[in-house]
Amino acid sequence: MKKVLYIFTIALLFVACENFYLENQLGYQPSIEDVRNFAYTLTEADYASIASNPTNIATAISMGSFENDSSVYVRLQNLKTDKYFADTLIAPELFIPAFMAARYPNLSEGTICEVTYRITADMPIYYNEFKIIREFLPKTTLNSVEDIIPALEQQVNNFFKKEGYKFVVNFSDEVTYVYQYVNSAFSLFQSDMIDVIALSNADYATIGTSKIADAQTTINIYLSRRFPYAAVDTKYGVIYKNDKGSNVFGEFSYDGTTWNMLSTIADETMSFEVKNTWKANTSTYLSEPFLGHGQGKFVIQNVTLQDPLTYVWYYSSTYGMCASAYKDNASWDSEAWLVSPVIKLKKARNPQLIFDQAFNKATNFTEEAAVLVSTDYKGDVTTCTWTPLEWNKNEDGSLNVPPGSSWVFQTTGNLDLSAFKGQSIYLGFRYTTSDGMSGTWEVKNVLVYEPEE
């Protein structure tokens, strides 16, 4: 009996020694799961890191159209100075994964990161019409506007008579016109979408410079002086010389105080996840659980708050984003919006929206709660167009919405966004109350995605 016990003890010691050796030998790493769900915004330095990443360099070179073609590589290197994704070939979904792998090499399968980066913004259609702007200095004095087209025909080199080219015509030091070459002829530029101004020599003299480095500051001062009584939301396109002396185009809109230049660069967010290695989740266009994230990049806009209300939408770490117009044991009139960040559906095929919601303390859900979509939202929910989304229906034909008598969350099911594919959209969660009734609406786990085919 003792012999058996001794043998068993020796065996245990051997196993223990073997485990000790395995756990302490050089290079051994215990298997530790590190799964995270987090957000990250690229810094200016990160763009240089992306451009210098060896994997990305190899990818860029492999994308050349012929052997030893370095054109895509050169475009990748432009990230170092541009500090935003400006080239369609240098797509974030292709070049951010290697950066994430280098930055977070030890995160485990299932990790998800919402990465925010800077990218060329979606601009109004008419922006494309001003890619090429030439300056026309008549060789002789023009006595009337009727002299402009003949002068353009005679003096513009045939090389520059190309479809869509714009020309800033210096009629005099004080007066400029914008002409275009369209359908093989010159004509005065006119647009139903925007009025265009080209700065004259006199304008530059007043400004005190012939080149404008800070367009936002300089053009704001110029337009404020030229249009001192402009109405809110007035908009002009302005052609001016940038710091390199080239004629460029910018859109400026008035908010009642300042003429703001429409930015050509925008923030965009994409989901990246660890699936063996880091990969872009291109089938997810927006993922905002709210829980643990606050309100994320959603913004709150109040249109109506009856006194004594000071807010309607608020964040709860337990329930997500909540809306209620009940205060001091009474219900009050309200209209308040929770608006998403921009959602780009450029490459979408069948985009869908799904989220969880609860509604309690009232039975008129569809009168108080609605989700709408806008393609022209610019910061003010009252000055853009909103298209309401229809709620799904249950098998009995009733709407799949909360009954208003429970705090239990229920899913919306997929709400179809395919009508907006190819566009950039905003979601608006609109809460409205009146007639002394105000339920509480709770929203979480908002997802815009591409269902698996």
Distance CA 158, CA 166 (A): 14
Token couple for 313? 């939408």
Listing DSSP states for 37-96 in one string gives EEEEE--HHHHHHHHH-HHHHHHHHHTSSSTT--HHHHHHHTHHHH-SB--SSS-HHHHH
Residue 272 lies in a domain: no
Same domain, yes or no, for 294 and 406?
yes
pLDDT at 270: 86
Residue 277 lies in a domain: no
Listing DSSP states for 305-330 in one string gives E-TT-S-SEEEETTTEEEE--EETTE
pLDDT at 214: 95
Residue 276 lies in a domain: no
Same domain, yes or no, for 11 and 58?
no
pLDDT at 122: 75
If one counts the domains in the chain, the total is: 4
Same domain, yes or no, for 78 and 99?
yes
Quick check: helix, strand or coil at residue 155?
helix
CATH of the domain at 342: 2.60.120.200
Q: Which domain holds residue 12?
A: 1-29
Contact 262, 254 (CB under 8 A): no
Same domain, yes or no, for 77 and 131?
no
Q: What is the DSSP letter of 231?
A: P
pLDDT at 344: 87
Same domain, yes or no, for 254 and 140?
yes
Q: Given its phi and psi angles, is residue 36 left (phi above 0), alpha (psi -120 to 50 degrees) or beta?
A: beta
Distance CA 98, CA 89 (A): 16
pLDDT at 387: 98
- Our CA angle for 379, 380, 385, nearest 5°, is 105
Least Cα distance to 337 among 356, 313, 314 occurs for: 313
334 Cβ neighbours under 8 A, 6+ residues apart:
302, 304, 305, 306, 309, 312, 325, 431, 432, 433, 438
Least Cα distance to 223 among 247, 196, 186 occurs for: 196
Same domain, yes or no, for 421 and 295?
yes
Residue 161 lies in a domain: yes
Same domain, yes or no, for 56 and 116?
yes
Q: What is the DSSP letter of 189?
A: -
Same domain, yes or no, for 220 and 299?
no
Contact 320, 407 (CB under 8 A): no
Same domain, yes or no, for 425 and 328?
yes
* Tally: H helices and E strands in the chain: 10, 27
Same domain, yes or no, for 194 and 216?
yes
Same domain, yes or no, for 427 and 298?
yes
Mean pLDDT (10-residue bins), the chain, 453 residues: 46 45 43 82 97 96 80 94 91 96 94 92 82 93 94 94 94 95 94 91 94 96 96 94 94 95 88 92 88 89 95 96 95 96 89 97 94 93 96 94 95 97 95 90 95 74
Residue 220 lies in a domain: yes
Listing DSSP states for 345-407 in one string gives -TT-SS-EEEEEEEEES-S-HHHHEEEEEESS-SS-TTSS--EEPPPPB-TTS-B-S--BEEE
Same domain, yes or no, for 388 and 252?
no
Q: What is the DSSP letter of 103?
A: H
Token couple for 447? 């997802």
The whole-angstrom distance between residue 219's C-alpha and the CA centroid of its chain comes to 25
Distance CA 409, CA 359 (A): 8
